Each structure stands twice: as C-alpha cells, then as structure tokens.
C-alpha cells in the first residue's frame, strides 16, 4: 500500500491555510494543521505514521515565530510537482520546510524547528554565487 501524501503545517495564517488546502485537495494530498498544544508529540505521530502512537506529551513553550511545513510520504517527483504548483499559484513562501525522514520521525516539532532555524540562518549568511 502506498504511503499517503501529507503536509503538516505549523503556525500558518488562515489565508495561506485556505490557499494550501485548495492546492492539496486538487493534488490528493492530505493537509494536517498542527496546533501549538500538539508540539509535544513526535513528527511521526502527528503525521499519523502507522506504529507511532501519540504520547499526549504537553507542550509548554511559546508559539513558533515563523511558519513551518513538513512533507510526509512524498517522493522527490511529487514534492517538486507540489512546489512548482505552489509557486505558480503565487502563495507566499514558507521559509522553514522539511521532509519527514527516518532521522527526524521521532523528533518533536520544536527540535525540527530549531534545526531548520539554524540551517536557514546559515544559508542566509552564505555569499551569493552566480
């Protein structure tokens, strides 16, 4: 059985949620809106990966200052197609994006957010090359 394509959204404004919902519906991708109170769970549980149960771990931290998007069950071709459609529809960018992997499936959203923030900051400091 093929893994269901899903996108987890964290701290995304309502207008962008509506745009993304339409895009995902047209592509057969399940959209999962994650609330701050769920940030204590693992990414795998939030993506409803079989065999990874919810822990009901409470989250006591603040809301993320930036938006984050996590892709689950999408191969590189499906991901490229989604991102192409995303740009064509001129949906405002989400800087922090990740793919659910065996390395991060048991991370909390906070752990992933921290890693993506570090990568994003390092990327912003790199000189532009032509």
Q: Convert the pLDDT of each residue in 29-68 to its tens digit.
A: 999 999 999 999 999 999 999 999 999 988 989 999 999 9
Rounded CA-CA distance 29/25 in Å is 6
Strands 6-10 and 30-34: parallel
Sign, CA torsion 85/87/91/93: positive
- Binned at pLDDT 50, 70 and 90, residue 124 comes out as confident
Nearest in space to 113 (alpha carbons), one of 95, 129, 96, 89: 96
Alpha helices in 43-108 (DSSP H): 43-46, 76-88
Mean of pLDDT over the chain: 91
CB 5 within 8 A of CB 30: yes
Residue 13 to residue 122: CA distance in whole angstroms:
26
């Amino acid at each position: 059985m093929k893994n269901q394509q899903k996108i987890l959204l964290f701290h995304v404004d309502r207008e962008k949620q509506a745009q993304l919902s339409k895009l995902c519906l047209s592509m057969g991708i399940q959209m999962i809106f994650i609330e701050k109170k769920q940030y204590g769970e693992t990414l795998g549980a939030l993506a409803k990966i079989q065999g990874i149960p919810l822990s009901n771990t409470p989250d006591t931290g603040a809301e993320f200052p930036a938006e984050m998007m996590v892709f689950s069950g999408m191969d590189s071709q499906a991901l490229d197609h989604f991102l192409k459609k995303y740009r064509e529809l001129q949906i405002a960018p989400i800087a922090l994006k990740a793919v659910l992997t065996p390395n991060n499936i048991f991370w909390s959203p906070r752990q992933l957010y921290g890693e993506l923030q570090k990568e994003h900051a390092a990327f912003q400091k790199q000189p532009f090359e032509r």
